[in-house]
Amino acid sequence: MSSTFGKNIHISIFGQSHSDSIGVVIDGLPAGHRIDLEKLGQFMSRRAPGRDEFSTQRSESDMPEILSGLKAGILCGAPLAAVIKNTDARPGDYSEVADKPRPGHADFTAQMKYHGAQDFSGGGHFSGRITAPLCIAGGIMLQLLEEEGIRVGAHISEIAGVQDIPFDPVSVSEEDILRVRKSAFPVNDIEAGEIMKSAISAAKIAGDSVGGIVECAAIGLPAGVGSPMFEGMENMIACALFAVPAVKGVEFGSGFAGSRSMGSVNNDPFTYAEGRIMTLTNNHGGILGGISSGMPLIFRAAIKPTPSISIEQDTVSYSKKENAKISTKGRHDPCIVPRAVPCVVSAAAIAIYDALLGSGIYR
Amino acid sequence: MSSTFGKNIHISIFGQSHSDSIGVVIDGLPAGHRIDLEKLGQFMSRRAPGRDEFSTQRSESDMPEILSGLKAGILCGAPLAAVIKNTDARPGDYSEVADKPRPGHADFTAQMKYHGAQDFSGGGHFSGRITAPLCIAGGIMLQLLEEEGIRVGAHISEIAGVQDIPFDPVSVSEEDILRVRKSAFPVNDIEAGEIMKSAISAAKIAGDSVGGIVECAAIGLPAGVGSPMFEGMENMIACALFAVPAVKGVEFGSGFAGSRSMGSVNNDPFTYAEGRIMTLTNNHGGILGGISSGMPLIFRAAIKPTPSISIEQDTVSYSKKENAKISTKGRHDPCIVPRAVPCVVSAAAIAIYDALLGSGIYR
Amino acid sequence: MSSTFGKNIHISIFGQSHSDSIGVVIDGLPAGHRIDLEKLGQFMSRRAPGRDEFSTQRSESDMPEILSGLKAGILCGAPLAAVIKNTDARPGDYSEVADKPRPGHADFTAQMKYHGAQDFSGGGHFSGRITAPLCIAGGIMLQLLEEEGIRVGAHISEIAGVQDIPFDPVSVSEEDILRVRKSAFPVNDIEAGEIMKSAISAAKIAGDSVGGIVECAAIGLPAGVGSPMFEGMENMIACALFAVPAVKGVEFGSGFAGSRSMGSVNNDPFTYAEGRIMTLTNNHGGILGGISSGMPLIFRAAIKPTPSISIEQDTVSYSKKENAKISTKGRHDPCIVPRAVPCVVSAAAIAIYDALLGSGIYR
Amino acid sequence: MSSTFGKNIHISIFGQSHSDSIGVVIDGLPAGHRIDLEKLGQFMSRRAPGRDEFSTQRSESDMPEILSGLKAGILCGAPLAAVIKNTDARPGDYSEVADKPRPGHADFTAQMKYHGAQDFSGGGHFSGRITAPLCIAGGIMLQLLEEEGIRVGAHISEIAGVQDIPFDPVSVSEEDILRVRKSAFPVNDIEAGEIMKSAISAAKIAGDSVGGIVECAAIGLPAGVGSPMFEGMENMIACALFAVPAVKGVEFGSGFAGSRSMGSVNNDPFTYAEGRIMTLTNNHGGILGGISSGMPLIFRAAIKPTPSISIEQDTVSYSKKENAKISTKGRHDPCIVPRAVPCVVSAAAIAIYDALLGSGIYR
């Protein structure tokens, strides 16, 4: 059940980096809504490899084929299944990994769990490629959320320590979200973006990699969605988010910085504004007690540097039972952060839509 | 289902701040294990209020009464139910809250979700008091984990920005964990602890509050526990952790700092040592691909400043439909971080034990 | 997780026959509805022992104490916890069972599963007594269903092969349901009921027991509730129903008899009537494809004869590793069917209410 | 989530009668086991249409294509996805159904649930065709169960009221199970089988249909598998079984007949035999308190007559809002019972394997 998610919708993801196909089954989608497959394809392309100089040269169209669940483009109430063929799989590239676990990868832990039965080609089910079905689900949820007036978007908040201008937590707008959605390298501060790109280029030349932070915002979410304790918005978003490989941290609202603040500063005063109750600041990131406040939902996800680097690293050889060296060849991104953006959005969209269905607000 | 957790064990928490009782039902515990109730009581006392000058003066023994699931102190396979009577409830303290939501609290979002039917006395089900049943479950899991040689402990990593010495992520030991467990104010650096205490005192005098960070470590966890994607160790720990009110962020291993690092630095080299495969560093926090690596599991949780402060704050009055002022009276902690430590440990213990049961390693 | 149920509400039942208490936590109940505790008590009394000559003389008030989840009698959105103290427990009665499993009981299978750690007093968690918390949940769901115009009721369809007049599957009315609800021995045919009572008396005198069939009807359920495949109304009702000890079979609509019929006879023709689409017959028992049709939901549950009989039976002695004899003493019902009626109703009410919440029809 | 099943494994079924494909994702399968695809194909062929004179002439190979989860024929720990292309779909056959619900079908209830958005071609997701993915899952579980020495098989117990010789509930053997497995029309009594076939032929000529009962046995299941209350073997098997369209009843062991018996007769005496504790009779059907006893697990499923018949029936026209007539054309089985046999076996195998994984007995 490791690859299933959801309380009110149910997502089941399958596939390995080099299996015949990868895909997802989504059960519980409400009947009667149109899914725009072209728009879904556009969203998928934001995660697809081979788009720019920084991403892996593996070329896959990543356009999902819908096997079931749609009737003339409309959700028919039956589970929606979508698959992507793995057309450019090259199992030969990865043979060394079977014996020598790559530092920072799941190779070793998979070996411990599956005792050698795991599909180690390209990382198998642990591959970043498996975020493509996550994005299919995410892309569909985004369309359904949009029907409800809810927009979810994200930008690169940091790469290699270079910071973008954050979303305004109180007034982030649909325009802000649509603007970053269009960009292949979504930043609010173009200049910062250029410095980030330089850092990625430098890492690439050095055979190294860099990480970063993605900031995500959801607007239009009504107040009252979510639940206390284990099914809060934070719990569910975090649970979905850590399915994206390389995510190692998440913070909502003022997060870690807020923990260094005073209550009198971090508390967000309530006020009547625009005919409803709002907060003047948004250190709570739109969530109090696990439930949405109606303010923008804001969180940040820490993405570790891509573990696959061509610099030689220390590892072990299982067969020789001794220390060894490894230099990861094959097609790898010196920075996964830009491609992680739609994955983070997808994880958020899935968790938010699931909570919305559970809230009884949505029809 | 908001207050239920677990895939292999199942926890169902109930109670409000001022309901007759609070408690928990734990289903799926393996039969035949002895539960030491005195030890459980000691663990509970670490979360209990009224222990020192900084915590709320509400005095409750917080000793759980076991209603079922034990036969002569041994788990009998039936669900274990435990309750704590709310003996010192003072509903009168909180009447203002029904009309004026406290900034930083769930008062407003609960109002949006439950439309006034919620129990607002003392925060109802959103109260920090509801972490007591979480700690009952956590304390029981800790004992079961200990039988398997797994220890979970936490210390105050930061309060008001004052930093403690972190656990050594590679060599944190049983002694390190036992030492912090004994302390009412668990820090590695006594001097830093004193400065933290001063900051809390200052906040208290000012009618304000401070937050902080809790660092948690689990040692002895074998490699191979956990799952890819949505049921990874990170997902499950995060999902449990955000049930603790005031937690607004979590990071595993090098976390946010690691996102500013290079792959060549952040990757943890593998090596043969102590007759098994280990990593030389532990930026991965003991988890790769959602699965334990056998290295110490390390994470940090950001705790926001206690929202209840006596300084007057801006809020609204529902009844008057206008802006208003509120000054939270009643018994409140100027800093919740010390009492959050056993809650964070409990969330971790529950998630880890659940994963361990699911791994098939544990008998 | 064996004792938890529900997709949209969540029920967690605990307790053993002779534990301190038994009870239930119900999570996911909608806030704002009043629960009539007196009415709940009346419903509970229908399952309670000691009401008549046929039931066990164990006397327990079985009145649940509500620990949380209500605020001034209104559901407040927090999990509702209810307990019943075990005041008349007599562990001494059952000591023989630890060594000699009673035929037809779970003593042996519990021994195989829990290896002696189980609480064998009075059957422990397997006791019929654990249906009391099921009835707490069921009684609450009945009240919530009633608010939606849905009534669930059951009668004794058979005891010892003596048949009652069945509910009319097309026109069973609220009056029919209310009438059987009032009776301690709910039958449609009073004379048949007297013959059943004679059969029970005869069994009691012989130290033997008899079984029977309970027929349950739910009316007022709108069409369109439920789901295809694994979450159909039949799946969920059956799943809940087999939690009632002694239930060994279930059939919906024409059930087993229908399997001997022809399609042209068993199919229920559709017709416009009373301003909506109905069926002229109701062999489908109100469910087609797992989804309610708007016709009365009808099912029957087979209840085996009470396994506890005073006639000497063949069994084994674990300690002597040889065949042995056992004669069950203690307080036992020669026929459990009358007391099973509210349990069957409860299982149905829980499953139906859960489906209703999931349908999006209910607000 | 209607089409998902399982606590320890997780099955997600998708597809409509005339969608591009149908299939299943199975998550939680243990790594390292070989799946024999040829054997799986043979099992699938038992459910496939077009095998004999009685089944629909729709011809589909029904051979599943494995998209993921296997590495060189071995389960690799990643979710297994399998699809079957719908190559012989003929949507044109079913256009009338959009306006006139077929009696006994889910057409009407689907209309009520999905408000016209459902895929009504061939019954959409409610089609018997969707049992093909159930059988993929079932066929895989059967292989895994067989590795543990557990065999599951079923025979036609009744068709049109004609009864086959039942399995001996105490001594049903591997040979008994293998014998019925080989047959396209699996009965123990060849002569009874011929009479059944005559009844089917007669129904076919009359444009009518007949139903029947399938009896299923599982042998080799160790004692101690399953759980009390809601996760008992009976609950889980029933929950899986009612996913098979046309199943309207289930009984375990002596079932409904047992409810007419006396306790002294229906109770199964324990005895030491073959070096272990057994029962002399098996009225409990191998399950007591939801937990396996080590005796053969025996249950029967009632299958209603195929609702699709060519005889003209009364129905309604949605568009005309008046009563109407319908005569179901297209390819339909006059008796679905023979093809239901592998579906019943699959439902049982899935539920049993899931319980086995949960029991901690299986590695």
- pLDDT per position in chain C (363 positions), as tens? 689 999 999 999 999 999 999 999 999 999 999 999 999 999 999 988 766 656 555 555 688 999 999 999 999 999 999 999 998 655 565 677 789 999 999 999 999 999 999 998 889 999 999 999 999 999 999 999 999 999 999 999 999 999 999 999 999 999 999 999 888 899 999 999 999 999 999 999 999 999 999 999 999 999 999 999 999 999 999 999 999 999 999 999 999 999 999 999 999 999 998 889 999 999 999 999 999 999 999 999 999 999 999 999 999 999 999 999 998 776 678 999 999 999 999 999 999 999 999 987 654
Angle between the B131-147 and B337-359 helix axes, to the nearest 10 degrees? 50
Expressed as residue numbers, the domain containing C223 is 4-359
pLDDT tens-place string over residues B214-237: 999 999 999 999 999 999 999 999
Chain A residue at shortest CA distance from B347? A230
DSSP secondary structure string for all residues of D253-317:
TTHHHHTTSBHHHHS--EEEETTEEEESS-TTTTEETTEE-SSPEEEEEEEPPPS--SS-EEEEE
Chain C residue at shortest CA distance from D239? C235
Q: Which residues 207-246 in chain B show a CB within 8 A of chain C?
A: none
Per-residue confidence (pLDDT) for residue A361, from 0 to 100: 65
Rounded to two decimals, the pTM is 0.96
Q: Token pair for residue C278?
A: 């109905």
C113 touches D at CB < 8 Å:
yes
Q: Which residues 61-80 in chain B show a CB within 8 A of chain C?
A: 65-69, 71, 74-80
Please tell me which of the candidates A78, A228, A360 has its beta carbon nearest to residue C363.
Answer: A360
Chain B interface, best mutation among A265, A267, A318, by max B CB count within 10 A: A267
Helix (H, G, I), strand (E, B) or coil at C316: strand
Per-residue confidence (pLDDT) for residue B331, from 0 to 100: 64
Per-residue confidence (pLDDT) for residue C275, from 0 to 100: 86
Check which CATH number belongs to the domain holding B24 and give it.
3.60.150.10
Per-residue confidence (pLDDT) for residue B84, from 0 to 100: 97
Please tell me which of the candidates A9, A21, A68 has its beta carbon nearest to residue D19.
Answer: A68
Chain C interface, best mutation among B7, B71, B87, B134, by max C CB count within 10 A: B71
How near does any CA of chain C get to the CA of D141, in Å?
Answer: 17
User: How much is the average pLDDT of A252-266?
Assistant: 98
Please say whether the beta carbons of A131 and A3 come within 8 A.
no
Residue contact D250–C254, C-beta within 8 A: no
> A82-91, B23-32, D275-284 — which is least confidently predicted?
A82-91
How near does any CA of chain A get to the CA of C358, in Å?
Answer: 8
A113 touches D at CB < 8 Å:
yes
Which residue, chain included where needed, has tokens 């791994």? B359
Contacts of C230 in chain D (CB under 8 A): 2-5, 239-240, 242-243
Q: Residue B2 — pLDDT band, cuts 50, 70, 90?
A: confident
Contacts of A363 in chain C (CB under 8 A): 360
Chain A residue at shortest CA distance from C78? A228
Q: How many CB atoms lie within 10 A of CB A57?
A: 12
Q: State yes or no: pLDDT of A363 exceeds 50.
A: no
How near does any CA of chain A get to the CA of D220, in Å?
Answer: 26
Please say whether the beta carbons of D12 and A79 come within 8 A.
yes
Angle between the A337-359 and A37-47 helix axes, to the nearest 10 degrees? 140
Contacts of C30 in chain A (CB under 8 A): 360
Which chains, if any, share at least 3 CB pairs under 8 A with chain B? Answer: A, C, D
For residue B144, which phi and psi values (nearest 5 degrees)?
A: -70, -40
Contacts of C17 in chain D (CB under 8 A): none
How near does any CA of chain C get to the CA of B144, in Å?
Answer: 16
Q: How many CB pairs under 8 A join B and C?
A: 182
Q: Residue D330 — pLDDT band, cuts 50, 70, 90?
A: low
B135 touches A at CB < 8 Å:
no
Q: Which residues 280-309 in chain D show a CB within 8 A of chain C?
A: 280, 283-285, 287-294, 302-309
CA distance D355 to D363: 13
Which chains, if any, share at least 3 CB pairs under 8 A with chain C? Answer: A, B, D
Contacts of B30 in chain D (CB under 8 A): 360
DSSP secondary structure string for all residues of A179-204:
HHHH-SS--S-HHHHHHHHHHHHHHH
Residue contact B77–C114, C-beta within 8 A: yes
> B121-125, B239-243, C226-230 — which is least confidently predicted?
B121-125
Q: What's the structural domain count of chain A?
A: 1
DSSP classification of residue D34: B
User: How much is the average pLDDT of A89-105?
Assistant: 78
For residue C266, which phi and psi values (nearest 5 degrees)?
A: -80, -30
Does A354 or D49 have the greater pLDDT score?
A: A354
A360 touches C at CB < 8 Å:
yes
Element (DSSP H or E) covering residue C291: strand C291-292
* Structural Rg of chain A based on CA atoms: 21
Helix (H, G, I), strand (E, B) or coil at D128: helix
Buried b (16+ CB within 10 A) or exposed e, C160-193: bbbbbebbebeebeeebbeebbebebbbbbeebb
Per-residue confidence (pLDDT) for residue C54, from 0 to 100: 60
Q: State yes or no: pLDDT of A87 exceeds 70.
A: yes
B321 touches D at CB < 8 Å:
no
How near does any CA of chain A get to the CA of B174, in Å?
Answer: 23
Q: What are the beta bridge partners of residue D354?
A: none
B363 touches D at CB < 8 Å:
yes
The ipTM estimated for the assembled molecules is: 0.96
How near does any CA of chain B get to the CA of C207, in Å?
Answer: 31
A106 touches B at CB < 8 Å:
yes
CA distance B126 to B115: 15
Residue contact A239–B243, C-beta within 8 A: no
Per-residue confidence (pLDDT) for residue C4, from 0 to 100: 93
